[in-house]
Structure 1
């Protein structure tokens, strides 16, 4: 395994991305404490993201609005505008890509780059170039923190050390001492449960952890992830394994005036069509549908096996079957706060295995042709022009295109 002799990676993390994009786009919000919320005029919800001004009062992401207003009476609640964040994300990628190639986009507000031999010589200048370009061509209210290190994992940790708008550089000769003062929650791969497990093994700080042997880390983690983390923290060039696609799904918080089973089914239906459309575009079939509904206190879910399908008719038929079962077990007057659908147990399109007993190949092929024709028309006109059944999105739109830290919405999510 190779151990770099200099910095080779850059990791960039935008500061308070959603709130800063709102402030850049809307001058009236600049310099003020704002909190991004799912809906306008709703008090019983949470702050999805907070601006730096709000964070100075102690407001945190995913904090109850009532608690946030109590510690920051002047907090301005701003309804989310996911398509604005998508467009800002794409614009920022274009500007950063004009300075150096982007190796991987990790989330809507994080990315990583490999450094060539010239860029490794002057990381401060490279960081200044990126920040200057963002400020000039996108706007000064969107800032980023950048970490440089021998590998991606260490660069990500470094980038968190001097937020907001900081630059942190860790050379190989800084390791592992530079990690000793850090708390466990600064280390990707160490969550609260793992921290408790480490404590049970007599490991209470980073110095204790870094003294372990790789095999000991593997034993504590109970898989190879612990050993990989050891090598990453000691500066080795660890490459993440290729991940396989496991599912396509969407979830949605329901507006307060739509929190009934009837409305929840209508939204679940539209979410499922969107998920199936994404799945077809990516070239997959699904053999399982999972549906869940969440109330204020209880959650309910069920699933249905599918005969390896991709068309709208098949998945919507399965949804109706699952929903009838859910209605039997859910309280009659339950307020459904959130609903979600997931298509899982995926197969690559050209590896589909037909069910000989079901003998539905002719029907499936006809339905697939129909679904693909609908996809083609909608894509051509960039809207849900043709749909199977009613298509009435909830207030606020952004059905399937909500704020997401892990998946970057595309334009089709907003049709």
Structure 2
């Protein structure tokens, strides 16, 4: 396994991305503490992103709006605009590509690049060029922090450390050269290691690992045992400066979730939103060239949650998945009354197979029916693509207040323009 003797990776993370894009797009928000919320008109939700001005008051992402108002009475709450953030993301990628090729986009606001010889020799100059290009061609309110290190994992951690330097937030730049390590690494909290959350910290504490220095001193096989898989050993090599490449991943599911606005928190209203989310998931399934063999439904309820799954024929058309949802919803209705409050819903199409590898179930003689409904779904997809919006759907198409059905930006997926139809 190769151990680089110089910096080879750049990791870039935009600062308070959703909030900074809002400030760049709306001059009335500039210089003010901004919190982005799922929808407007209620305090019974959380801040999903906040500006650097709000962070100075102690506001954090995923903080209840009521607590955010207590910490920062002047905070301006702005409902999310996922399509704006998607378009800003694509614009920023184009500007960065004009300076350095992008190796991998990790999320809506994070990416990584390989360094060429000039970047390795002058990382500060490269960072300045990237920041000035963004400020000049996009705007000065969308800032980023950049980390440089021998591998992607260390560059990501350096980026996070640089974001918090000199008692300020954002617009940072941090360089961790191999000869400088492990000094800047071992002073960090364990929570700064990507993938180490509260539960993993508890597991490490039970094993006598309380600090980054303790973790760094472990052996590779011990790390593997603590993590319960090879990822622990891979993390050991990454923290010690080895060139560890991300493992290729395979598509496992297509799904959508949504926090419900107050007026949609009844069972009937939640069902209608689940229908729309499932149609959006089925559209993505078809565009990617997959079929599914399973459907999962999840509901967050007052006082708990409910989930179940259903086996489907190998399908990808709207009629088949909606019929499956109706069957699952009957189970919901038998368990809960119409007065039950639903705060969040999620639908997932799983057990995937590629379209050119589809194998029909010999015990289900429905191929003619399936071909008919697949033709209907294909025709609907074609009309919607022609007009760039949902002009036809199987059943009513009435998005709830706030819209964004199927267009939510998650940590692992960046929506396409089609997701907002």
TM-score for the superposition, normalised by structure 1: 0.98
- CA shift at 1:62, angstroms? 0.8
Paired residue total:
415
- Work out the CA distance in 1 between the residues paired with 2:356 and 2:317: 15
Given that 1:302 and 1:326 are in contact with CA atoms closer than 8 Å, whether structure 2 keeps it comes out as no
Residue aligning to 1:103: 103
**Root-mean-square deviation (Å):** 1.1
Residue aligning to 1:24: 24
- Work out the CA distance in 1 between the residues paired with 2:293 and 2:263: 34
- Work out the CA distance in 2 between the residues paired with 1:16 and 1:370: 43
- CA shift at 1:118, angstroms? 2.1
- Work out the CA distance in 1 between the residues paired with 2:411 and 2:229: 26
Task: Pick one of 401, 415, 419 that aligns with 1:413.
Answer: 419
Residue aligning to 1:257: 263
The ranges of structure 1 where at least 4 consecutive aligned residues each deviate by more than 4 angstroms after the TM superposition are none
Deviation by residue 1:104-150 (Cα, 9 ceiling, x = unmatched): 11000100011112221111011000000000010000000000001
- Work out the CA distance in 2 between the residues paired with 1:409 and 1:296: 30
- CA shift at 1:240, angstroms? 1.1
- CA shift at 1:31, angstroms? 0.6
Pairing 1:125-274 to 2, within 5 Å after superposition: 125-163=125-163, 164-274=170-280
- Work out the CA distance in 2 between the residues paired with 1:66 and 1:201: 38
Task: Pick one of 332, 337, 343 that aligns with 1:331.
Answer: 337
- Work out the CA distance in 2 between the residues paired with 1:358 and 1:315: 16
SS in 1 for 2:399: coil
- Please list every run of 5 or more consecutive structure 2 residues that lacks an aligned counterpart in the other structure: 164-169
- Work out the CA distance in 1 between the residues paired with 2:218 and 2:71: 42
Q: Does 1:286 align with 2:288?
A: no
- CA shift at 1:177, angstroms? 2.5
- Work out the CA distance in 2 between the residues paired with 1:384 and 1:76: 32
Given that 2:254 and 2:285 are in contact with CA atoms closer than 8 Å, whether structure 1 keeps it comes out as yes
Residue aligning to 1:53: 53
Deviation by residue 1:239-280 (Cα, 9 ceiling, x = unmatched): 111111111001112221121111111111111010000011
Given that 1:148 and 1:168 are in contact with CA atoms closer than 8 Å, whether structure 2 keeps it comes out as yes
SS in 2 for 1:275: helix
Given that 2:268 and 2:338 are in contact with CA atoms closer than 8 Å, whether structure 1 keeps it comes out as no
Residue aligning to 1:38: 38
- CA shift at 1:402, angstroms? 2.4
TM-score for the superposition, normalised by structure 2: 0.97
Deviation by residue 1:194-245 (Cα, 9 ceiling, x = unmatched): 1112111112212221121111111111111110000000110001111111
Deviation by residue 1:168-199 (Cα, 9 ceiling, x = unmatched): 01111112222110110111122221111211
Given that 1:401 and 1:414 are in contact with CA atoms closer than 8 Å, whether structure 2 keeps it comes out as yes
Q: Does 1:296 align with 2:286?
A: no
Given that 2:108 and 2:409 are in contact with CA atoms closer than 8 Å, whether structure 1 keeps it comes out as no
Residue aligning to 1:402: 408
